[in-house]
């Protein structure tokens, strides 16, 4: 088995400054570290149990299959906070048939981001008898 010490998602945005502002200022992700210089310098943000690195530049947005899944304590509170910061809500919070509450937004390149609230009684958090 591979012993993973850390995990990181790497995004190459079409406009690095715009993406850094989105993830840092609008989403409010904390900066883990920065490296390099100039407009295409890299910024690594904390993602709870992993990291999001925004670095370099791409001529095209990421493939539509790329998605970010971010767990939050309260999706409704996140919706109000993000709306106040000018983030477009692609789909408002909905309790899904599988029991999670999900809200969809997108980054400046259109990368889908799902914000997920795991209810206290959901099997991901609570398993009776264990």
- Give the pLDDT confidence score for residue 65 in this predicted structure: 85
User: Which helix (H) or strand (E) is 45 found in, with range?
Assistant: strand 42-47
**The token pair that represents 130 in the structure block:** 């264990």
User: Taking Cα atoms as reference points, which of 91, 110, 115, 117 lies closest to residue 22?
Assistant: 110
- Give the pLDDT confidence score for residue 40 in this predicted structure: 78
User: In this structure, is the dihedral angle defined by the CA atoms of residues 12, 29, 49 and 96, taken in order, positive or negative?
Assistant: negative
- Give the pLDDT confidence score for residue 127 in this predicted structure: 67
- Average pLDDT per run of 10 along the chain, which is 130 residues long? 76 94 96 89 91 92 87 94 96 96 96 93 76
- Give the pLDDT confidence score for residue 55 in this predicted structure: 92
- Give the pLDDT confidence score for residue 80 in this predicted structure: 96
Q: Find all residues with CB under 8 Å of 59, minimum gap 6, and list them.
A: 14
């Amino acid at each position: 088995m591979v012993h993973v010490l850390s995990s990181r998602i790497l995004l190459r945005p079409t406009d690095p400054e715009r993406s850094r502002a989105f993830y840092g200022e609008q989403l409010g992700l904390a900066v883990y570290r920065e490296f390099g210089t100039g407009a295409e310098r890299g910024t690594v943000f904390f993602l709870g149990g992993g990291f999001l690195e925004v670095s370099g530049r791409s001529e095209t947005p990421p493939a539509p299959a790329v998605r970010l899944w971010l767990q939050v304590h309260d999706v409704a509170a996140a919706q109000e906070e993000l709306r106040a910061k000018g983030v477009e809500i692609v789909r408002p919070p909905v309790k899904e048939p599988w029991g999670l509450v999900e809200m969809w937004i997108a980054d400046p390149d259109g990368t889908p981001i799902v914000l997920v609230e795991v209810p206290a009684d959901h099997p991901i958090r609570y398993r009776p008898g264990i």
